[in-house]
Structure 1
Amino acid sequence: METSRQYERVFDHFDSNGDGKISASELKHCVGAIGGEISEEEAEAVVVLMDSDGDGLLGMEDFKKLVEGAEEEEKVKDLKEAFRMYEMDGKGCITPQSLKNMLRRLGESKSIEDCKLMISQFDIDGDGVLSFDEFRTMMS
């Protein structure tokens, strides 16, 4: 699988001493290399949190879980931004009216009834609006 090879290449690049594991200091260095910033203490906390075998280092599987978790966090952040655009009226949910308004801004004209129908397809709790979790389900 191509994604596995990509993880391995990145992992090998950050495994500066070639021991097949990433230490907290190697993690700190790799985060810095991609333009991020993490303290030694934060790097150590991440290693402790993600270390599955208790050796104080991240193996390949630990590293994959860390990267996938970071990617998921980014997706959730992007979804929250999109949700806020549709939500618009500050109610913490997407209403038929806020959906209609956003669609109009995107150049699509829909009636309130159309918007109610669109919302009902993903309205898990049946309250007539979309919460963030329902929106997230819809966007998956």
Structure 2
Amino acid sequence: MTAPQLEAIWAPRMRSVLRIMAALIFFAHGTAKILGFPTSDGMPDPFTMGWTAGVLELVGGALLALGLFTRSVAFVLPGQMAVAYFIAHAPHSFYPALNGGDAAILYCFVFLYLVFAGPGPWSVDALRNPRAHANV
């Protein structure tokens, strides 16, 4: 099998793997904030910025892991990550490695990629509309 053939077969599948893994780790942030699992410093008060972030992480992470409404969810989450970076991380230092914001930046760009690239073949979106995802 040639390199282009391998790429044609595996690139969409690996996009699904990237989506699933990023979503599951993102989801874990939501479970910690909203459900107190596996650990929590205390849950944020309802309808505060921290609570809203936790709900977006919980619901958005679950939907992305399933690959359901992927492009729509992935359109919202980069904005959340940009806000999180500039409010919670950037004031502490200019450098992401020092301010702890490197994950927020990475999530922002992974989710932005998914807006344009789509969920990959291993997704509920692909099951719901196979023709739209036939060569994606």
Instruction: Provide TM-score, normalisation by structure 2.
Output: 0.29
Larger radius of gyration between Structure 1 and Structure 2: 1
